[in-house]
Structure 1
């Protein structure tokens, strides 16, 4: 495994996009189930109080630096974090690799209709992609068994789950062994973007690590959640942990 950085008790892997993709393909070849977490400042702040989420992140096979704040924190702490590895971009690169190498994919999450549109977009954008199953993210605990059995029967190598943080990470960790999928990733709102329901920041804002600002301006309802960012910076600078 690559070098890790302790960011408020969360071990984040200092990887580039290419290194992350290489590791994921290694996991697929290995065949055993691996949980990948996409850590940003908001998730790390949640983990300070949510012990179950903190435990999930500790057990994850790979924790990528999905957020400019995490990259800044690592560098502030004196560790060379090469770049931000955005979860959306990683999922798209993984789908592209899957199309070229024959990996089977399952999509789980999003509002009714969203995952269907995301599937259609992915199949159009990545010719040859095998999406062997899909399911929206609205379900009851009683439906867990049905969902797990359907995913297992579909035999994907890659499972993308968009249930939101921390629900997706907890669901995946709880069912990881039973699912038996080599690569499982919580992808948050990725299906919304793929379906065209939500737009990403312009490329220049992504490259300037200002995507958080675009999200805040385009989705003012995120303001309360965004308060995690200044608290995150303060705790990193002062070295305070809960």
Structure 2
């Protein structure tokens, strides 16, 4: 069942239900796109028709951000729960760790994806990350990256180029990528590498992970300021 928030159709699923969906994707014969919009991305999509089209056509759209849950209440389109993209990917890794399913990481600064690979393979024993590449590449190198992915045929491609670049990159190359799941994960590779620390569990549980990030990175205030504007727009859309 879909829940529409400012034109973006969210799958109204719990984290466990979303994980089950991803496991089904792993047994499919197509490249399934996972997107994890937060309020900032929804606002971006409202001014970017290409991004909105991508989000609307994605195979799984989960609400990454407490602001999306609040928006559902405001618009009387209740969403079951927040499904943090990072948590969902880690849960998927846990399910994959003793299987033959494989992962490719694309994004972050040079050297970071290699550390992320090492950390994830240490944390999730027997997880198979078959390839990595940083997020700084030109058109010529892009073709080499795509060729490598075609040769390796990973089951999952995780792209950390920031929104909307990562979603547009995946969408543009979707038919050339022989994977089962493609997902834009923003700063997820930095998190896997330990470069960005996640909020304490209590902050995550009560939906204040954004506040923890703001305390650590005050420059994010310009991004956080979009949340009240997002909620105001939701109130207006309801009336």
Fold match (TM-score > 0.5): yes
In structure 2, the residue matched to 1:218 is 216
Alignment of 1:99-114 (within 5 A): 99-114=97-112
In structure 2, the residue matched to 1:79 is 77
In structure 1, the residue matched to 2:52 is 54
Query: 1:229 & 1:174 partners in 2: Cα distance?
Result: 29
Could you tell me how far 1:180 is from its partner in structure 2? Answer: 2.3
In structure 1, the residue matched to 2:184 is 186
In structure 2, the residue matched to 1:139 is 137
Query: 1:101 & 1:79 partners in 2: Cα distance?
Result: 38
- Normalising by structure 2, we get a TM-score of 0.97
Query: 1:239 & 1:35 partners in 2: Cα distance?
Result: 28
Query: 1:100 & 1:187 partners in 2: Cα distance?
Result: 23
Give the secondary-structure state (helix, strand or coil) at the position aligned to 1:30: coil
In structure 2, the residue matched to 1:122 is 120
Alignment of 1:142-157 (within 5 A): 142-157=140-155
Give the secondary-structure state (helix, strand or coil) at the position aligned to 2:98: helix
> 1:158-184: per-residue Cα shift (whole Å, max 9, x none)?
111111111100000110111021101
- Normalising by structure 1, we get a TM-score of 0.95
Query: 1:100 & 1:81 partners in 2: Cα distance?
Result: 33
Give the secondary-structure state (helix, strand or coil) at the position aligned to 2:106: strand
Query: 1:102 & 1:96 partners in 2: Cα distance?
Result: 13
Query: 2:87 & 2:200 partners in 1: Cα distance?
Result: 14
> 1:65-112: per-residue Cα shift (whole Å, max 9, x none)?
111011111122223311111011011111111113321111111111
Segments of 5+ residues of structure 2 without an aligned counterpart are none
Query: 1:70 & 1:117 partners in 2: Cα distance?
Result: 32
Could you tell me how far 1:113 is from its partner in structure 2? Answer: 1.2
Give the secondary-structure state (helix, strand or coil) at the position aligned to 1:29: coil
Could you tell me how far 1:227 is from its partner in structure 2? Answer: 1.6
Give the secondary-structure state (helix, strand or coil) at the position aligned to 2:62: strand
1:164 aligns with 2:159: no
In structure 2, the residue matched to 1:68 is 66
Moved more, 75-84 or 206-215: 75-84
Query: 1:31 & 1:130 partners in 2: Cα distance?
Result: 20
Segments of 5+ residues of structure 1 without an aligned counterpart are none
Query: 1:224 & 1:80 partners in 2: Cα distance?
Result: 28
In structure 2, the residue matched to 1:26 is 24
Query: 2:98 & 2:72 partners in 1: Cα distance?
Result: 34
Give the secondary-structure state (helix, strand or coil) at the position aligned to 2:36: strand
Moved more, 163-172 or 133-142: 133-142
Could you tell me how far 1:141 is from its partner in structure 2? Answer: 2.3
Count of paired positions: 238
Could you tell me how far 1:202 is from its partner in structure 2? Answer: 0.9
4+ residue segments displaced more than 6 Å: none
